[in-house]
Structure formats: structure tokens, C-alpha cells
Chain A
Amino acid sequence: MSALTLRPNWAWPGVLICVVAVVWALDWRLAIIAAVWLIAWGINAILARNGTPGARILVPLIFGLTLLTLWEMAVRLYEVSPVILPAPTAIAVAFATNTATLWADFVQTILRGALPGYALGCGAAVLTALAIDRSRFLQKGLLPVGNFIAALPIVGTAPILVMWYGFGPSSKIAVVVAMVFFPMLVNAVQGLKESSAMQRDLMHTYAANYWQTLFKLRLPTALPFLFNGLKICSTLALIGAIVAEFFGSPTVGMGFRIKIEVGRLAMDMVWAEITVAALAGSGLYGLMALAERWLTFWHPSQRRG
């Protein structure tokens, strides 16, 4: 290691100590928070620069832990009211003590509302895309209508759908379908246009019929677009199912819980539900990303090495 690369390593701590000292004079609590942040940042910078084995896992881990630590410190040092922002430890306690409730809410909202709606909405969108692809009439007529539906605000449609389909999961499924249908449709229609005229001509010379061309050429080439749609819709589905519960629900579900616990000022429980939603959302998104990597291995964006 040359002196050139060594120098910044030694100069930086000096500068940082000065910064912390200056901040200390203004507000000692801010100085402590700044010090912890700078130390964690320094560790990450060193890990990233030296290419330590395992840095790919360690760096984001340290980053996440630092955020949580800073949050905890800020809440405690500044005595932020738990009604405004609870500490991560308080949220963790709420999570651990309410697992049964959180699980019941997860089943109600995600498994009974979001996922069926997601499957129905995306499935219907792909089938519609196939119909649109075959018919010029639909292409001219249906796409604008789809556009219109996509522009409807959820806060307007959700109460109506609750009135039509009742307080149970069916109204949540309806809201999710309305939300995911169009983004999926646009992607599917675009995807079906992906195969080139040359490729289709080639299939023609093989004497392939419509279905053979569809399954062997057009759907595989459409996959990157289909997965794009599926990934966008995975988060939309969760939002739809949770927000729809604000407008009417039985006394279970993530949206219901968030709403009543806000009213009860139990913000730790609200954050616990948000944690569940974030985990479920990331999980669904990750699942789609995995499936995409597996099925579209041939696409330039997925090639490795």
C-alpha cells in the first residue's frame, strides 16, 4: 500500500473528530448521533474499498443497522413522543407480542385479498392482451377504456366496490384487480409486439400455426415485459388491498389494524404492520425477480459473467 492511499485513511478521522467537536458545541445529542453515523460510514467505506470478503453482505447489513441505531438514538435522545415516532425496539416488541394478530391480518389482507386479486387481475390482463393482439377492433376500443380505468383514484373506487362486493375479501380482490389490470395489460400488449417480423416469418416457414408461434416464440419474447408488469403490480396489489380496508372491512386485516391503531395512538403496532407489509411486498417482488431470472436467462439484462 503506497503512502498516497494511506493518507486519506489517516486524515479523515481527524476531520471527522473536528466536525463532531463543532457540532458538540451546538447540540451534544446531535454530536453523538453524528459520531455514530460517521464511524459506521467509515467502517463501510474501508470495507468497500479494501474488497474484504463478505463485504457484499456486510456493507448493506451495517448500513441498515446504522439507520436503525440512529433512529433509536434520535427518538431516545430527543425524547420524541411514541405517539409521533416509536423507537425501533418498541416496534420490535410490538411485533413480537402481537404475532398472532399480525398473522391473522396477513392472512386476511395478503392471502385472501391481495394475492387472489393479483392473480386474477394479471391473468385477465394477459388474456385480454392476447385478444387485443388478435383484434384491431379491440386494440382501438379497449385500450382507451383500460387507460380510463387505470386513471380512477382508489379512494373513489374502493368505497363503491365495498358497497358492491361487501365488507369481506371479495371487495378487496375487486380493488386489486382494478388497480393491477391496466399496468399489466400495457406491458403484455407491448411484450406481444416484441418478436420481430423476421422471427415470425421464420415460424411461418416452419409451418407453425398461431398457437405454436404464440407459445414457442411470442410469449417467450414477451417475458421481460410480462415480468416488468408483474413486478410493478406486486406492490400495487398490496397497496390496493390495504387501502381498500380503510373503507370498510371486518375487524381483521392490515388496513383495518393500521387505521384503528392510529386512532388509538398505538403507533408501535402501526409500524409493526408496516413492517409486515414491507416484508410481504419485498418477498413477492423478490419471488417475481427470481422467476424472471430463471425464465429469461437468455435476455441480455440477465446474462452474467
Chain B
Amino acid sequence: MKHLTLGAAALLATGGMAVAQDEVNLQLQWVTQSQFAGYYAALENGYYDEENLAVNIIPGGPDIAPPQVLAGGGADVMLNWMPSALAARENGLPVVNIAQPFVRSGLMLTCWADSGITEPADLAGHTVAHWFFGNEYPFLSWMSQLGIGVEGGDDGVTLLQAGFNVDPLLQRQADCMSTMTYNEYWQVIDAGVTPEELVTFRYEDFGVSTLEDGIWALEENLDDPEFVDRMARFVRASMRGWAWAAENPDEAAMIVLDYDETGAQTEEHQLRMMGEVALLVAGGDGRLDEAAYQRTVDTLLAGGSDPVISAAPEGAFTHVITDAALAE
């Protein structure tokens, strides 16, 4: 019966008739940029319309915590890094991963080569600038796995809370800085630094990567079959958007630029970002890889005296949505 009504709705939508569409408010992890190209592509190409969805994409920013927007009812669904979402879950906000478009992590540490750092163990005694606001968890658990403190001194890392730009590295206030393969790394390069002057450590290469940019919803909503159906359609259309964006990176980047209301993004940067982001989503169909989930949880639990989460989460993900989305 559900399929029947769904099919009828899709027919109506493609017929160009005005139908009451189901609303979905999506809270992004960060400002409008190619990191979210799949969603903008799905919106622009009408994939959401075809699923009878009216999707409202809400950009984030430096002072927006997506879990809080979700808790406050400002969004139905959010994009969030798994460390931050699991920490929120442990802090009393039961969020559930319903799909995982990003299969690889784009997080890395970028250091000046002349600082004498050749491997992560050399970080002791150096200064590292990092963003906080929930983004610091992967770094903190990596350091505690390496046995390096973050309280400064000769055997520890001196940690600085950086704003969301790469100035601390460029000005050498820090020897290393946290960067994303698709964003900040290129800001350093654009500032006139050559790749040879830098040493980079990708979390993926060291087995400490954690999942990024998953789709999360509130647990209580998942009891509602209507919500589950709506999310299945949302995930299906979003994954179509991602597949299209990965195949047409240049067009996808241009769509993102069109949707950037701030006008802050440049064409060159977005094209490059889209190329890098395509590598992170490649091979995924939205279904959460449980091995990657387990690695994330293990990394977060291995935080020594100060783990990000204190117990392995129960029910923090579900395949119900992706199974329904992929069934078609």
C-alpha cells in the first residue's frame, strides 16, 4: 500500500502537478561548499522532487553545533562527524546514524617540514593548532593512543584553539595544523606554500580515521513509519545526487557556487574541493560499513584517561533507512 501511494505521488510529481510535498530540513555540518555537493546536486537536478520531497538545506558555520539544531527541532536530519555525534549521544541526545555517504576520512595533520617532524611520534614538544567545537576528538584520541599528552611541555603537544582559518600555521604560531584534504590544505597551498615544504599525516593512513559527514536523525523519530519512509526517500535521492556529483564534479561545483548565498567561495577552490570530496564518497552507497563504524568506536574509546566516549554505544546506527532506500 505504501509503495502504491509512493508510486502515485511520484507519478503526480513527474506529471508536473502541484502536490503537497513532504518537508525535510537538512542541517549541514559547515557552510555551503562542495563538501555537500551531493545534496545540492539532488536539489538542483530535481531528485528530491521526484521523491516528492521539499528539502530545505540549512548551511552551518563556525558557531553552529548541528546536534543542537536537531535537538531544538530546527532540523529533521543533520550531517555530523561520528565522534561528535556519538559524544552527543552519550551526553543525552539520542541521535542515530541512518546513512553514511562518506566512506573515507579527509582529516589530516599538516606540518612544516622544517620543524623536524617526520612521523606522528615526533609531535611531542611541538605546537599544534586545531579547531574545536567537536572536531578535536579524532586528534585527541590519536594522541592518547600514541601516548602523547596535550598539556604542553617537552613530552607533550601544546594545543592551540584555532579559529577556522590556517593563519596559525602560516604565521608559524603552530608547527602543525589540522586540515581537511579538500579544504584547509589547499588554503595553505594557495597562500604560496609548496607541497614540498609540508609534511602531512592522513588519519586514513594511520588507522585512526573516524567517519565523517554521516546522516543522523533523532532516535524517537525513527519509531514513526512516516518519518522512516520520508528519510528513505531522502537518502535515496541524496545518494543519487552524490553519484551524479562524483561523475560530474565540475558541474557539481558550479551548482554549489550557485547555492552559496554568502558569495564567499571561489570557483577554483570549489572545483578542487569537489575533486577531493569525490574520492571520499567513492564506492559508497550510503549504507554504513559496520567495520568502519567499529573502528571509529574503538578509536574513540581508546582515549586513555580521557576517552571521547566512555562506553560502546548501543543502537547508534540503523540500516533500516538505507535498506529501504536501496530496495528500489
Which positions in A face B, CB cutoff 8 Å? 81-84, 159, 162-163, 166-167, 245-251, 256, 259-260, 262-266
Contact = CB atoms under 8 A, between A and B. Distances in A.
Interface of B: 63, 65, 67-68, 71-72, 84, 87-88, 91-93, 132-136, 150, 158-163, 167-168, 171, 173
Nearest to B159: A251
A251 B161 contact: yes
A166 B173 contact: yes
Contacts of A166: 173
A262 B133 contact: yes
Nearest to A168: B160
A264 B134 contact: yes
Contacts, number: 78
A259 B71 contact: no
Contacts of A265: 65, 67-68, 71, 87-88, 91-93
B168 A263 contact: no
A250 B67 CA distance: 25
Given A83-B91, A251-B160, A262-B63, 18 more contacts: A82-B92, A83-B68, A83-B93, A163-B167, A163-B171, A167-B173, A248-B160, A248-B161, A249-B161, A250-B160, A256-B132, A259-B161, A260-B132, A260-B161, A262-B133, A264-B87, A264-B134, A265-B93
B133 A83 contact: no
B68 A159 contact: no
A248 B168 contact: yes
A167 B87 contact: no
B265 to A, nearest CB: 19
B160 A249 contact: yes
Contact of A250 (B68, B93, B161, B171): B161
B167 A250 contact: no
Nearest to A263: B133
A263 B161 contact: no
Contact of B65 (A167, A246, A251, A263): A263
A256 B91 contact: no
A251 B87 CA distance: 19
Nearest to A164: B171
